[in-house]
Structure 1
Amino acid sequence: MTTTEKLIVLALGITAISLFAGILYQAVSQIIDRRKYPPQGELFDIGGFRLHLNCVGKGTPTVIMDAGGGDPSITWGLVPSEIAKFTRVCTYDRAGLGWSDPNPKIPRTSQQSVDELHALLTKAKIEPPYILVGHSLGGGNMRLYASQHPEEVVGLVLVDSVHEDQITPAIWKRMKRVILLYQLLIIASRVGVLRLIGDMNVLPMFKDIKQESQKYPLAVQALFDTFKSSCYRPCYWATTSSELANMKRSFQQLQASTLLGNLPLIVLSQGSKNPQMSDERFQKWQLLQRDLTQLSSNSQHIIAENSGHLVMLDQPELVVSAVHQLIELRSPLNKN
């Protein structure tokens, strides 16, 4: 064997050992994470995989909450605990996010999320009526749920929700670059590289999130480590990538959905522009948010003047107030 051949074999051996060590590091770390950050609620098998559901409080109707694209249920921050003071509220993690198992063989569309949520609520015996609350992509999911199961839903809150007309060719071009990045992160997380870099606190994405979280209450800041640990799982990036790649399909499903009749609807949208968003894009977003009020003949539009896209963290009291308002509409005193 020549010197060159020996060097090649040595390099391959080192690579193989490094990959094995990385995979082992990732596997052991995930076991530690599961012990360190146990599920806040319960896991329900809905057909070969389990979804995480966390219900607190008492009362009716039950509030069901769905987070934004790629976001686990903990990103609702303090909102669920405040709603639990006057009714029962359930948050859940879509498949592959938070504490839920992945369902990777199925494209992550809004319709798939609706079908899985319906199966979850049935399995967990969470009886209607429901008030649905959805943020961003979760808003699209909840809107689709309300149109397909109107007999179960008595109110809907859309928190800076997606709109089926929001994707322009330029935006889709940027989205495709993000999808490619997510595909690379699947590989990096599988062999432990993402976790290693993240634990060294040099990953820009986590540094930015950590810095952003400092402006929120300590109880919200404490959720950062739980969120970060969930992002180290390969299924997280596979799920997020699939949700993004199938966004057009999800929006087509929304376009094909029916209107909501006179269902009580509150559209809650951001009022503070992100510095990275152009004035033109921000104005178009506000127009799309107002257009969402046309889904129901019984709707109102509330602008969160001091909030960016994360209204539930910037002004959680507005989300809580919107839910409380819909419950008050069902009060016997208000029916007379």
Structure 2
Amino acid sequence: MNSHDWLNGNHSGLITIDGHDLFLRADGPDRIPSQPVVILESGLGGSSVSWPLVTRHLTPFIRVYTHDRAGLGKSEINPSSNQYEPRVYAERAAEDLDKLLRKAGVDGPFILVPMSWGGIVAREFLERRKDDVAGMVMIECVQERTTQLRPIDAPNTMAFLRGLDFFEVVGLKDRHRLTPEEWRAQLQEIAENGPQTAVETFAWPITELTLGEKKQFERQILGSRPISVIKGNAAREYHQVFEAGVAAGNGTEEQRIIVSKMIDGMEEKEDMLQREQLNLSSVSRFVQLKQSGHLVILEEPEPIAIEVQWVLETFSQEQTKGSA
């Protein structure tokens, strides 16, 4: 199922990889040989419907590819039994992406733009295709030490959302900039992706350990190719959930103590974890956003586009110097 010319025009469709169909979408200007294209990588349980706002801000100047990981969105679950072994889950997702792009005829250079846990998948893809990556723009990404330094007690935290709408509590329902149709699609996909989201949630901390074994920070794997790290304010959202839950009478006294302790100092830990990712390259910059919470891609596409433009220009300048 690969009848499209994936290098030209706007297309979406399924491509068969190892016995299962994966969804790919291409938007923006036709591919110019040797010019970078953007590869978007969704967060935990996310899929291509999360990216229309960002895509609209990128396609005026660069070609963009969005995909759904196996079992999410329009992509089928991989029939291979070891696909969902937690230890190799992110590695297999990166392998799927690698094969998907190769079968579509989409070569590097790539600018990787991952969101949240997608940062783990993107960096496993970087491990596979290091020489084909022009740079990265990392958006609120988790990394190999996130669970170790900033563990989240999900069951006790969720107790504070009983009877409440998370998107209302954190203000995203009013702040997001999707069209009404795109917002409905986002909510529908969250519901439909539930089973596979549970699989990815279980795998998450173990995939961090697998990535950590590769010591990408110590190796400075990107060399001098540029990286930008964009940080929202996820810690603020945990405080909002806690405060709204307490006001609604949710959570036992024990749960309030546990979650209060969990969110204490979270902002400082998040800042450190985000900044550590700058060590992937000797050429980097850090962007702290004021408005967005964790889901930057639904709120502030402009900084993302600016950082992709910076990576593109920095990479192009280095290529020009190298050929002079």
TM range (shorter): 0.7 to 0.9
Normalising by structure 2, report the TM-score: 0.75
> Structure 2: which amino acid aligns with 1:52?
F
Q: Give the match for residue 263 of structure 1.
A: 225
> Does structure 2 conserve the Cα–Cα contact (< 8 Å) formed by 1:46 and 1:116?
yes
Question: Displacement of 1:209 after TM fit?
Answer: 9.1
> Structure 2: which amino acid aligns with 1:130?
F
Q: Give the match for residue 182 of structure 2.
A: 223
Q: Give the match for residue 274 of structure 1.
A: 236
Question: Displacement of 1:168 after TM fit?
Answer: 4.2
Between the two proteins, the alignment pairs up a number of residues equal to 271
Q: Where does structure 2 lack aligned partners over 5 or more consecutive residues?
A: 1-10, 240-262
Question: Displacement of 1:203 after TM fit?
Answer: 8.1
Percent sequence identity is 27
CA distance in 1, matches of 2:187, 2:169: 9
> Structure 1: which amino acid aligns with 2:22?
L
Q: Give the match for residue 183 of structure 1.
A: none
> Does structure 1 conserve the Cα–Cα contact (< 8 Å) formed by 2:90 and 2:124?
yes
> Does structure 1 conserve the Cα–Cα contact (< 8 Å) formed by 2:232 and 2:292?
yes
- The C-alpha deviation readout for 1:194-236, integer Å capped at 9, x for no partner, is xxxxxxxx985587599733322352x4212223333444xx2
Q: Secondary structure at the match of 2:22?
A: strand
Q: Give the match for residue 156 of structure 1.
A: 136
> Does structure 2 conserve the Cα–Cα contact (< 8 Å) formed by 1:52 and 1:93?
yes
The correspondence for 2:109, drawn from 116, 129, 142, is: 129
CA distance in 2, matches of 1:321, 1:207: 26
CA distance in 1, matches of 2:171, 2:292: 17
Change (3 A) 1:256 1:169: closer
Question: Displacement of 1:305 after TM fit?
Answer: 2.2
Q: Give the match for residue 38 of structure 2.
A: 63
Q: Give the match for residue 36 of structure 1.
A: none
> Structure 2: which amino acid aligns with 1:147?
E
Q: Give the match for residue 315 of structure 1.
A: 300
Q: Mean Cα displacement is larger for which, 254-263 or 319-328?
A: 254-263
> Structure 2: which amino acid aligns with 1:270?
G
Question: Displacement of 1:133 after TM fit?
Answer: 0.5
Q: Secondary structure at the match of 1:171?
A: coil
> Structure 2: which amino acid aligns with 1:326?
V
1:306 and 2:291 equivalent? yes
> Does structure 2 conserve the Cα–Cα contact (< 8 Å) formed by 1:328 and 1:334?
no
CA distance in 2, matches of 1:123, 1:178: 42
1:45 and 2:16 equivalent? yes
> Does structure 2 conserve the Cα–Cα contact (< 8 Å) formed by 1:213 and 1:224?
no
Q: Give the match for residue 289 of structure 1.
A: 274
> Does structure 1 conserve the Cα–Cα contact (< 8 Å) formed by 2:72 and 2:196?
yes
Normalising by structure 1, report the TM-score: 0.72
CA distance in 2, matches of 1:129, 1:323: 13
> Structure 2: which amino acid aligns with 1:162?
V
> Does structure 1 conserve the Cα–Cα contact (< 8 Å) formed by 2:94 and 2:121?
yes
Q: Give the match for residue 6 of structure 2.
A: none
CA distance in 2, matches of 1:161, 1:123: 28
RMSD value, Cα = 2.9
CA distance in 1, matches of 2:229, 2:190: 29
Q: Where does structure 1 lack aligned partners over 5 or more consecutive residues?
A: 1-39, 180-201
> Structure 2: which amino acid aligns with 1:267?
V
The correspondence for 1:102, drawn from 65, 74, 77, is: 77
CA distance in 2, matches of 1:62, 1:141: 18
Specify the structure having the higher radius of gyration (Cα): 1
Change (3 A) 1:119 1:229: same
CA distance in 1, matches of 2:74, 2:106: 19
Question: Displacement of 1:122 after TM fit?
Answer: 0.9
Q: Secondary structure at the match of 2:188?
A: helix
> Structure 2: which amino acid aligns with 1:228?
L
> Structure 1: which amino acid aligns with 2:304?
V
CA distance in 2, matches of 1:256, 1:290: 19
